[in-house]
Structure 1
Amino acid sequence: MVPARDSDLPVLDLAGSAVDLTVALCDIESVSGNEAAIADAIEASLAIYPHLEVIRDGDAVVARTNLGRASRVVIAGHIDTVPVNANLPVRREGDELIGRGTVDMKAGVAVALVLAADLSEPPVDLTWIFYDNEEVSSDLNGLGRLARTRPELLAGDFAILGEPTSATVEGGCNGTARVEVRLSGIRAHSARSWVGHNAIHDAAEVLRILKDYEPEQLEVDGLVYREGLNAVAITGGVAGNVIPDQAVVTINYRFAPSRSGEQAIAHLRELFDGYELTVTDLAEGARPGLDEPLAQDFLAAVGGVAHPKYGWTDVARFSAHGVPAVNYGPGDPLRAHADDERVNIAEIIACEQGLRAWLGTH
C-alpha cells in the first residue's frame, strides 16, 4: 500500500511499474539547470516512506536506509537530460518508449525509485542518489558537488550507477584527458612566405604521430579496456593573406584505468616530446572492482558477464572515494542524446528484476 501523502505535493507513483514511472519522469522536462521540478517530485514522493531518510542538496535528492546492516550499497542516477528537440511527451510504440531521457537515464532512475520505495527491509543498507547537472560541465555535476561537500553520502562498500548499458554490467571506466599541442611560427605576408614560418604546416607532424599511434588494449582486473588517442580539433590562421604564427591541435586521450591521470599525461608528454603541451581537462578512470564480494554476488545475481566501460562515467567519483562501482541500467548507450532516443521496455523490466534478485540473496 502507498503511504498517504499531502495532495498538494507532486505525485509520482512509486508503487506502480518502472515502465509507467519512466514515462512520468521523462514528461517532467529537466534539461540540465532546470531540475528543480523533477527533484521536488522525487523528494516529495520518497519522503512519505518511513524507512527512508531523505536529504535534499540543491537539486540532488538522497534517500537512505539506516538499519545497521553490515554493508552499504549506493545506487545512483542523474535526473537531468540534454535539450529537448520535439521529443516530448514520451510515446510508446510496440515494445519501446520513445522520447528525451528514456535512455539517458530516466529509465534507470525509475527502476531505482521503485526499488527505493519497495525495499523497506533490504539485506544491506541502501543509499539512493538522484543528482543534477550530469550532462554539462563537470564542475556543476551534482554527484561531484556531494563528493566535495557531503562525501559521507557517497560512502559504501559497492556502488551501481544506472547509466545505460542495455541491461548488462560494465565495470569501471576509462579515464579521459584533453591536451593542447601549441605550435609557434613567424607571421608574414603570404606573398613573401619565405620570410615567415607556417605554424599550421608544423601540425602535420603532430597529426602523423597520431595517425601512426596504435592504442593499447590493457587488461584490468579481468576486463580488457581499449584506449584511444585522437585529434578532436585544430585551430589556426590569421587571414587569407597571412602566414599563421600559431596553431593548436586539441587531443583527447582515453586511457585504461590501470593508468593514473599523472601517468596518462606523462605518456602524452613522452609521445609529443619537444612540443608545448597544455593539459585542459583530466578525469581519472575507475578500476572495475569486480573482485569485491558484493560485486561478485551482484554479477552472479543478474546473470551477466561483465564488460569494460570505454567512456568516462561518474563511477569514477565513487572509485576516487574508495568505493568500487559498476554501470548497470536499461537502454542502448548508442541511443543516448539522439532525437529518436528510445528504450526497450524489456530492459527496464530486466534491470528491476536483476536488482531485486541480487538484493534478495545476501
Structure 2
Amino acid sequence: MTSAVPAPDLAATTLRLIDVPSESRSEAEIVGLVRELMPGSPTYDDGEVLLYGEGPIVLAGHVDTVPAQGNVPGRIADGAVHGLGASDMKAGVAVMVELARAGVPARYLFFTREEVPVSDSPLPGLFATGMLADAELAVVLEPTDNDLHAGCLGNLQARVTFHGESAHSARPWTGVNAIHELVRGLQPLVALAPEDVELDGLVFREVVSAVRVGGGIAANVVPASAWVDLNARFVRPGMEEQLRALLPDGELEVIAESPSAPPALGNPHVARLRELVPSVKPKQAWTPVAQFAEQGIDAINYGPGATAYAHRVDEQVPIANLEQCYEVLRVFLTD
C-alpha cells in the first residue's frame, strides 16, 4: 500500500499530541488541541467527549494516558515516534485526525478518562443522547500492531478480607492470625490454572491474579485482619460468583467491574475490514469495545500502536505502523 498522507505528517501529529500532557482526569488541554486540529465543528462536545462527522462507521479513540515516567516531551528517532502515549493511544488519535483532515467519511469520536475505572468513563453521557444509536460498527484504535483484535476480556477488581483475632505475638496461640488464614485461604487460587474459552473460533484466556496484599498493625501484634486484592479477566458471566466459591473463607468485596465484549466477527463491515487486515486475534485485555457492545453497537479493535510498548517508560510507535493504519482505514472507509 502507498500512504496517501506522508509519514512525516502522521509522525508530526502524533508527536504534537504526545507533547501535550493528558494524564487521566487532566485532559482539558489535549481536548482543546483536538478541537484545534479537527476540521469543522463537533456535533457533540461536553468537554470530555468530542464527536465529529457522520456515517455508519465510528472511529473511536481516547486522549488520556497513564502517568508520565519521564517520557514527555516526545521525540522522533530511529523510524519511530517516542513518548508517553505514543502507542496507547495517541498514534491512533493522530490517524483519526489525519483521516478527518483528508475528508475521509466517518464519525470521529474522541473521549477522556479511559485509563481509569470504567465507572469514570464519560461515554455514557454521549450514549444517552442516542446520537450513536444508528452506528453500524465502531473501530476502536487501541494498540493492536495493525492486527484486528476482536472482542475483549471483562475486568473485575475485588478485595478479599480474611479475619482472625488479635493477640500478643509472643503468645500467638491466644489469637487467630489473619495473615495465616489468608495464606491458607488462597491455596485454591494458587492452584487455579488459566482457562481457555473459545468464541467465534478465537481463544480467550480467563485468569485470576492476586495483585496486592496487606495486613497487620504492628510487629508485636497478631493481626486480626488481612486482605488481598484480586484482578480477574473473563469472557463469560458469573466471575464474582466463581470467586466467592473459590475463596469461601474470605469476605469478598467487588471494587470495580467492566464487562467483556463478543468478537463481532459476523458484522458485514468487519468482514470487509478483514479483507484488508487478514490477521485476527482475540483481545486479551479490556478495551472500550465493551462499552459499545453494551449499547448494541458492534465494535472491534484496530490501531497502529505497538502493544509491547504500551505503558512503558520507552513507549514508542513505528512510523510505518502509522502509515499502514492510515491507509487501511482510508481504503476501508472510502471503498
1:336 corresponds, among 307, 310, 317, to: 310
Deviations for 1:76-116, whole angstroms, at most 9, x for unmatched residues?
00112223343233211121111112111111001111112
In the other structure, the counterpart of 1:65 is 54
**Alignment of 1:140 onto 2:124:** no
Could you say if the C-alpha distance between residues 305 and 14 of structure 1 is closer, same or farther in structure 2, counting changes exceeding 3 Å?
A: closer
The one-letter amino acid paired with 1:41 is L
The one-letter amino acid paired with 1:138 is V
Deviations 1:221-278 (A, max 9, x none): 121001111111111112111111111122111112xx12xx1112222222353222
Compute the displacement of 1:15 (Å). Answer: 12
Tell me how far apart the structure 2 counterparts of residues 44 and 96 of structure 1 sit (CA, whole Å).
25
CA distance in 2, matches of 1:88, 1:116: 26
In the alignment, which residue of structure 1 is the partner of 2:224? 245
Partner of 1:107: 91
Where does structure 2 lack aligned partners over 5 or more consecutive residues?
Answer: none
Question: Does 1:299 find its partner at 2:278?
Answer: no
How far did 1:144 drift? 4.2
The alignment status of 1:24 with 2:16, answered yes or no, reads: yes
Matches within 5 A, 1:234-313: 234-256=213-235, 259-260=236-237, 263-302=238-277, 304-313=278-287
Cα distance in 1, alignment partners of residues 332 and 290 from structure 2: 23
Mapping 1:1-362, distance limit 5 Å: 17-48=9-40, 53-65=42-54, 72-119=56-103, 122=105, 126-147=106-127, 149-153=128-132, 155-256=134-235, 259-260=236-237, 263-302=238-277, 304-361=278-335
Could you report, residue by residue, the CA deviation over 1:167-188 in whole angstroms, capped at 9, with x for unpaired residues?
1110110111122222111111
Identity of aligned residues (%): 37
Matched residue SS, 1:351: helix
Pairs aligned (count): 331
Residue ranges of structure 1 left out of the alignment (5+ in a row):
1-12, 67-71
Contact 2:118 2:258 in 1 (8 A): no
Distance 1:14 1:130, change over 3 A: farther
Counterparts in 2 of 1:187 and 1:293: CA distance versus 1, 3 Å: same
Q: Name the amino acid aligned to 1:152.
A: M
Q: Tell me: higher relative CO, structure 1 or 2? Use CA pairs within 8 A at least 6 residues apart.
A: 2
Shift in alpha-carbon separation, 1:190–1:82, aligned structure 2, 3 A: same
**Contact 1:207/1:231 (<8 A) preserved:** no
TM-score calculated relative to the size of structure 2: 0.92
Q: Distance in 2 between matches of 1:284 and 1:56?
A: 26
For residue 33 of structure 2, give the secondary structure of its aligned residue in structure 1.
helix
- 3-state SS, counterpart of residue 74 of structure 1: strand
1:299-353 CA deviation, whole Å, 9 max, x = no partner? 1123x22101111111110011011111111121221222211111111111011
Deviates more, 1:178-187 or 1:317-326: 178-187
SS in 1 for 2:146: coil
Partner Cα separation in structure 2 for residue 57 and residue 155 of structure 1 = 20
TM-score by length of 1: 0.85
- The RMSD of aligned alpha carbons is 2.2
The 1:135–1:63 alpha-carbon spacing in structure 2 relative to 1, beyond 3 Å, is same
Q: What stretches of structure 1 move > 3 A for 4+ residues in a row?
A: 13-16
